[in-house]
Amino acid sequence: MIPATEWWNIIGNYGLSIFPMQFINLALGFVVVIFFLVKRNELASRILKVYFVYTFLWIGVIFFFLLGKDLPAYIMQMTLFSSLGILFALDLKYNKIQFEVPQEKGRRILYSTFLILVFAYPLIGYLIGSHTYPKIIILGSYPCPTAALALVLISGNIRKIDWKIFILLLIWAIPFPILIQIPQFGVYEDSIMLLSGLYTLGLWIYEQINKKNSKNLEQYIQQKIQPLSQ
């Protein structure tokens, strides 16, 4: 494991190398998310997927493979994020993921809160960890806030997911902040990604329990009605 100072130097050098693309990718993310929240239709959902194809491939190839070779296990991380980009590209055809804004008030508030926190990644990093440019982590060019955004948007319609994408995102979002990012490198802003992952996973578990209970109730009713109809 490399020292925290060296890790942050890699992040800073990456930020300087790609300037101003990190801000362009952030602005693109803001535009496509606002477009989706306003339109809430199939076109807006597909544009979000195109954004994830672009950003996850950017992270896999440019962040990890080209400029992040000094990061530990960069090949594994490059493979994970490049795979996410490819899977989102395939989902443009198969449409397993269907982004939606939650209808329930409570879920809609949490959904909106998480979206704001994802875009506020660099601000949170500055307030909690005194991280300043170029050592800032921004949506669209850095892995953690981009993974967090994908999880938050998936949480809006947890019934329509691509298992492969969901599992890869959770592999990155939950263990890494707990085991590495926060304790080893002091990336306290990655708490946003961790909470996004736990929230989305919790929604999925809740949905599975409800589905099982509904199926059991339906079977129970059928068992009670069947003798009456004979």
Tokens representing residue 180 in the block: 């590495």
pLDDT in tens, 10-54: 999 999 999 999 999 999 999 999 999 999 999 999 999 999 999
Answer yes or no: is pLDDT of 217 > 50: no
Q: What are the structural domain ranges in the chain?
A: 4-229
Tokens representing residue 217 in the block: 């109730």
How many angstroms separate the first and last alpha carbons of the chain?
Answer: 70
pLDDT in tens, 95-145: 999 999 999 999 999 999 999 999 999 999 999 988 999 999 999 999 999
Angstrom distance (rounded) from CA 177 to CA 192:
9
Q: Which long-range contacts (CB under 8 A, 24 or more apart) does 12-15 make?
A: 12/134, 12/135, 13/67, 13/134, 14/63, 14/67, 14/68, 14/134, 15/133, 15/134, 15/135, 15/136
Answer yes or no: is pLDDT of 221 > 60: no
Per-residue pLDDT band for 220 (boundaries 50, 70, 90) equals: very low
Residue 75 burial (C-beta neighbours within 10 Å; 0-12, 13-18, 19+):
exposed
pTM for the full predicted model? 0.92
